[in-house]
Chain A
Amino acid sequence: MGKKKEKTYISFTEEMQKDYTVLVPNMLPMHFTLIAKVFRNFGLRAELLETQGQHIKETGLKYVHNDTCYPAILVIGQFIDALQSGKYDPHKTALILFQTGGGCRASNYINLLRKALEKAGYGYVPVISMSLAGLEDHPGFHMGVKMVHRLMYAVLYGDLLMLLRNQCRPYELRRGESEKLALAWTDRLAKEMDAGAKISYKKVQENYRKIISDFEAIPRAEQKRVRVGVVGEIFVKYSPLGNNNLEDFLVKEGAEVTVPGLLDFCLYCVYNNMMDTEKLGRNKVQYPIWKTAYRFFTKKQNDLIEVIRECSDFDPPTPFAHTVSLIEGYIGIGAKMGEGWLLTAEMLELADKGIKNIVCTQPFGCLPNHICGKGMMRPIKERNPDINIVAIDYDAGATAVNQENRIKLMLANHSD
């Protein structure tokens, strides 16, 4: 890895940091509001893209190879659409993208973005690669331990808010209250992050408690609803833009939605690096770092779970170590491209929690999902006969009517 080669991209320099606006794509509204705040803490004039609508997809289709995965079409479409909107000075704007460096073509989004920018006449706009693997060099953006540490809290807060909102929303007596509360807390946490130079873990845990008790206080109906889990490719799983507002649709159909948290995906990336060493003997030098990170993150996750258990009846996230243990006998821990084994694990995790109805989302033609999603459904069903999984493809041309029809079939057939 990391051979010397001609640099083919524009670096984000220290000078740029001073007056460039950095656009951040939006995958999960609450998480990314907080993530954008973290960037601001570190001197980046970060701004979260919140645009929606048909034209994003069309802009994407225009500048990206149409056979590329749908998330790339959307993310790139959203960026170019923003640059074209006139809202930003393209000469004073940079973009940021997350890059895992895995074997899935998603690692190439950033290059596709650069090509698209060139095609659209914005070849000069720098794109920052944000990656734990350190794939590129951007002097104006340094992802140090401190930033990672803060980002982790953004993710933890986001996961907690998403979890509580999802568990309250179908039962709330006053419509919209849970969503409103989640947004209010996002705002409040963002402000806190803006102000405080340091984050004290004590304060964080205090916040957890306050958030939980605020949600507890929402008046809710008793009657239980059908619980439906959503798993899949990370972007279409989370982004309403990518999944035609799947969560809203499910809630409207009378379901309680469970979506595994973003921290699991981060842990999955960390864990894979550990496994590369443990199982394949690769990258031994980095191993201690990953191991430490893993211990640290899982500790934080367990703390959060503990707090939820302690002060509420809400259903907490599953501890990562347990999630990992579930795949035994289904898929190998080495299947690490895209969502890899985590996708299988999340389906099993939901089943383990008693959530037997699952929507497995994927972009049309997603390679890892052939194996870890569709390829695992049969063995999962064989060993969990009461499970009810439907695979839904998302694509620029796929229509909501077909997707909804299939989800309705799943719901009509639901098992409690």
Chain B
Amino acid sequence: MNYSLGIDIGSTTVKTVLTKDGTVVYEKYERHLSQVRAKALEMIEEIRPMIAGERFSVAFSGSAGLGLAEASGIPFVQEVFATGEVVKRMEPDTSAVIELGGEDAKIIFFDGGTDERMNGSCAGGTGAFIDQMATLLDLDADEMDRLSLEHMKIYPIASRCGVFAKTDIQPLLNQGAKKEDVAASIYQAVVNQTIAGLAQGRKIRGKVLFLGGPLYYCRGLRERFKETLGLSDEEAIFPEYARYAVAMGAAIYAEKTGYETEIDALTAKIRESLTAVVSNRLPSLFENREEYDLFHERHAKADVARRAIESYEGEAYLGIDCGSTTTKMVLLSRDKEILFSYYNSNRGNPVEIVREQLGIIYGLCGDRIRIVGSAVTGYGEELIKHAFGVDLGVVETIAHYTAAKYFLPEVDFILDIGGQDIKCFRIRNGAIDSSMLNEACSSGCGSFIETFARSMGYEIDEFACLGLFSPAPVNLGSRCTVFMNSSVKQSQRDGATVEDISAGLSVSVVKNAIYKVIRAGSADELGEHIVVQGGTFYNDAVLRSFELELGREVIRPAIAGLMGAYGAALYSMRLTNSTLLSSNELREFHHTSTAAICRGCTNHCHLTVNTFTGGKKFISGNQCQKGLGLEKAAEEIPNLHEFKRSYLTGLSSRQPKTVTRGTVGLPLSLGMYELLPLWHGIFSSLGFSVKISKMSSKQTYERGQFSIPSDTACYPAKIMHGHIEELVAEGVDAIFYPCLSYNIDEKHSDNHYNCPVVAYYSELLRGNMDSLSSVKFLYPYLNINSRRELCRGLLSALSELCPELSAKEIRRAVRRGFAQYGEYMASIRREGERSLAWARKNGRRIMILAGRPYHADAEIGHGIDKLATSLGFCVVSEDSVCHLAEPAPVRVLNQWTYHARLYRAARYASEHADTELVQLVSFGCGVDAITTDEVRSILEQNGKFYTQIKIDEITNLGAVRIRLRSLIGALEQ
């Protein structure tokens, strides 16, 4: 008898498979809750009766199995390789395997050359991601699966990273989208991520085997995969052993290693490895119990007066903070005593929570207490305001400052760490001086610890307490959640306990907040009088870590989690009469939400239409005001981005009188966004019909996403693939996007490069897009700063397309192109000046919505320009005003044409009181890591606010709206 044991230890589970003469005789699947070694031992012990006294082969596999194998000297097989072994034995005619694990996603191709792909350092689209999303929906994995099967529609959700997905999902939930639809959309996001991120252009077809836990459990996910890949029942195989495939593969592999052992020797080896040395630890949070008690006592002092609601009579004020994951409510007496408070997860349905709690409040108030003022703040501000007739909407920053001031009048710095956002603001001279929000990263936030706690089988409170007395917290560094997952994995491998991990996570949260979001070099940069708040600071371990990291004491109000609501209530004390729904009206209250698609423009925003009692409607999800049928006024305000869009798309109608040379397609993204008039002019002068790809939309991206080889490139680059697909489908004769190391020299910078992506993206397109083989793709390296060189370069680049082309024709065309380009740039400057004059005449604030030329794109810019005009800003672009300021001295190598304009635009904003600069930054833009700090310092040196908005595939305008309103709030103070 030949026994073979395969043990697969992944990031969340242990799987064991025992085979006897090649047949599976035992299998087991369990979560290890980070107790990797203990769990492995326990599961091996369970097999003892079957193999006691036998010699058998054994091998480990899986990411957490690696450490154990190394420490114990037992053979290890890489998990993808193990999967390959299974396929060879069980389903030899398989053409591809898709396997999703806790934090890994893999595709193995078998037909036409074996090729194995694993997700990179990003864990988006994996089991951990699904778990995280289920937590967000307040569902367990089974419920989520069940609901998903009843979906009616799919929303676009980014799954590259849990963080982005959350920013997509949260507004959907807050706006009342159905959980069924959201659940299915999450699965669809996983499918898209797997296909786009891993297959990278290689077609998945034939017989496909689906393996791994998530694909075994989630029927909804299977359905999404099958449908998206267009597989028949015969082609899509979901085997019974899906969860055990890797362990099975390890068992098969073990047979071949020749390594044999017996059970006592095996367990002894694993037990011995328990003492493995542990590296990279931090000092404990508290020396001893006494130190903790003192700490506890000190913080208990920061409290507010409370009063039993039953004993109060008279006027009261209601504050609501409808946050991203939690809803908070506070009822205050005239004397600012708390009569009632509520803090809980909004369970994906804040409207219902508020209705329920408001009912309770009315019950408690009876006829004695009358609510005369109410205010709401937070993500769900608009929705709640409309639903319940709340008097005031308050920007979060103002609400929090109002509350913090109550505890510490001289407060100069507030840090709020909530469910998934970090907000911090500096206060100078009694006004909010600058504010920062975490943009694309939520690793420093509460839901991050919570998700970890749950994945290890703890409730958050219990988990947090565990960390307080850890002797050696693990050092997890300060980085994104995704990386944090793997750091935790590594520490598990090194034998860290749950206590150490809990404490380590608290420290990380703090480090992320300080070094990543605030980006402070030292504690002194924050301020002297610091108030910390937000639900996450209820966690004593986080609070302690923060004080230790700063080396100073801070104030944590006892109502740390209620500060937004408390501030809103304080804010509403200026009122004397409230429009809040009365007790009777509340009883009648009902709310439904339906999904719709706006047909106002080509953006086709996904709208959520909330209908309240009496048919009152609130529409959300819109990028502009159009779908709402509301005020038209916003459209009159000048908007340079809109101007550029219509100018560029308008070039389509300028065609040569007679087309003599076929059609050239120009893809409208990246560098084409500015040089379009040049190339358009050249080609139409040469007698080509010029086909410009359409303004981008989400569909453009989706159309090309499957050929993107590097998913961490910026969105403007990735969307390029869709533009190419569109032009190919249009049947153009050639597509032109040249490689330009150097952009136009505008003579105000050290050099005039393009960024590497803008410069060479064609090379990547050529190498990765199959569709380009059916068309001529021209991407010559050109020098556009010398007309002679440009003519020479073009002549040789076009020789194949039109061999008869003469030097004279080219020269004329180049002249014409430059004339058209010059005209375009001049018109931008003219329009810039006109806009500034208009704003000043009409008393409007001016916003330089600065970035790169391609940020004017409707999809890439996500309509932020329109949002800004709807808030009353006159919007200009960096290239429309930079000529009005002298080049600013900068402390960086000013070597990119586009970026040099940013510095000058910042200088312009610095010199004008009525002008603000908001910088758009594409996620993944390496160059902007340099420009943002510089633009910030130019502005701040001159006492201006710096606002940065990071944009990606995400369309969470809610957060952007808060940013811009905070800016307005700060300006008005």
- Chain A residues within CB distance 8 Å of chain B: 1-3, 5-6, 8, 54, 58, 61-63, 65-69, 101-105, 107-108, 110-112, 114-115, 119-120, 135, 279-282, 330-338, 364-372, 374-379, 381, 385, 391, 393, 395-402, 404-406, 408-409, 411-413
Contacts and interface: CB of A to CB of B under 8 A. Distances in A.
B479 A397 contact: yes
Contacts of A371: 756-757, 760-761, 763-764
Interface of B: 63, 66-67, 76-78, 80-81, 113-116, 118, 120-121, 200-201, 280, 475, 477-480, 483-484, 486-487, 489-490, 493, 515-516, 519, 521, 709-710, 712-713, 717, 739, 741-742, 747, 749-751, 753-757, 759-761, 763-764, 766-768, 779, 781-783, 785-786, 788-789, 792-793, 887, 889-893, 895-896, 924, 926-930, 932-933
Nearest to A65: B929
A66 B515 contact: yes
B807 to A, nearest CB: 15
B767 A413 contact: no
A107 B926 CA distance: 12
Contact of B121 (A69, A102, A402): A402
B490 A114 contact: no
Contacts, number: 229
A101 B893 CA distance: 9
B926 A366 contact: yes
A103 B933 contact: no
17 contacts: A65-B519, A103-B751, A115-B891, A120-B521, A281-B783, A332-B781, A334-B739, A334-B741, A368-B756, A370-B757, A378-B709, A385-B113, A397-B477, A401-B489, A402-B489, A405-B66, A412-B81
B478 A61 contact: yes
B66 A404 contact: yes
Contacts of A408: 66, 76, 78
Nearest to B70: A404
B750 A3 contact: yes
A412 B749 CA distance: 50
A44 to B, nearest CB: 23
B924 A104 contact: no
B36 to A, nearest CB: 12
B756 A338 contact: yes
A332 B280 contact: no
A400 B477 CA distance: 13
B767 A103 contact: no
**Which of B67, B493, B767 has most A Cβ within 10 Å?**
B767
Nearest to B792: A281
B587 to A, nearest CB: 52
A365 B201 CA distance: 21
A408 to B, nearest CB: 5
Given A66-B479, A393-B121, A412-B80, 12 more contacts: A3-B749, A65-B933, A105-B926, A108-B892, A111-B892, A111-B930, A282-B783, A335-B763, A370-B710, A372-B760, A399-B490, A401-B493
Contacts of B739: 332, 334-335
Nearest to B755: A367
Contact of A398 (B483, B755, B766, B789): B483
A401 B887 CA distance: 47
A337 B756 contact: yes
Given A280-B783, A281-B788, A337-B756, A375 B515 contact: no
Given A337-B756, A370-B764, A397-B483, A119 B478 contact: no
Given A114-B891, A378-B201, A401-B489, A280 B782 contact: yes
B623 to A, nearest CB: 26
A330 to B, nearest CB: 7
Contact of A376 (B76, B753, B767): B767
A364 B712 contact: yes
A193 B498 CA distance: 55
Contacts of B477: 58, 396-397
Nearest to A2: B750
Contact of B767 (A5, A280, A378): A378
Contact of A375 (B66, B483, B764): B764
Nearest to B493: A401
A20 B568 CA distance: 59
A413 B114 contact: yes
Given A105-B927, A370-B710, A393-B120, A65 B493 contact: no
Contacts of A379: 766-768
B930 A68 contact: yes
Given A334-B741, A402-B121, A69 B926 contact: yes
A8 B930 CA distance: 16
A61 B887 CA distance: 30
Contact of A399 (B480, B489, B709, B792): B489
Contacts of A6: 889
A374 B710 contact: yes
A100 B789 CA distance: 25
A401 B490 contact: yes
Nearest to B786: A281
Contacts of B750: 1-3, 5
A243 to B, nearest CB: 14
Given A385-B113, A393-B121, A402-B486, A54 B475 contact: yes
A121 to B, nearest CB: 9
Nearest to A335: B760
Contact of A365 (B67, B712, B792): B712
Contacts of B783: 280-282
A62 B525 CA distance: 12
Given A8-B889, A398-B483, A112 B78 contact: no
Nearest to A363: B926
Given A65-B929, A370-B717, A375 B741 contact: no
Contacts of B489: 399, 401-402
A164 B196 CA distance: 42
Given A69-B926, A378-B709, A406 B521 contact: no
Nearest to A120: B521
A58 B280 CA distance: 12
A103 B764 contact: no
A112 B751 CA distance: 18
Contacts of B201: 378
Contacts of A334: 739, 741, 781
A364 B121 contact: yes
B565 to A, nearest CB: 32
Contacts of A385: 113
Nearest to A411: B78
Contacts of A405: 63, 66, 78, 118
B113 A365 contact: no
A406 B66 CA distance: 12
B118 A409 contact: yes
Nearest to B785: A282
A412 B759 CA distance: 37
A150 B51 CA distance: 68
B926 A67 contact: yes
A401 B477 CA distance: 15
Contact of A8 (B116, B751, B766, B891): B891
A241 to B, nearest CB: 15
A325 B924 CA distance: 32
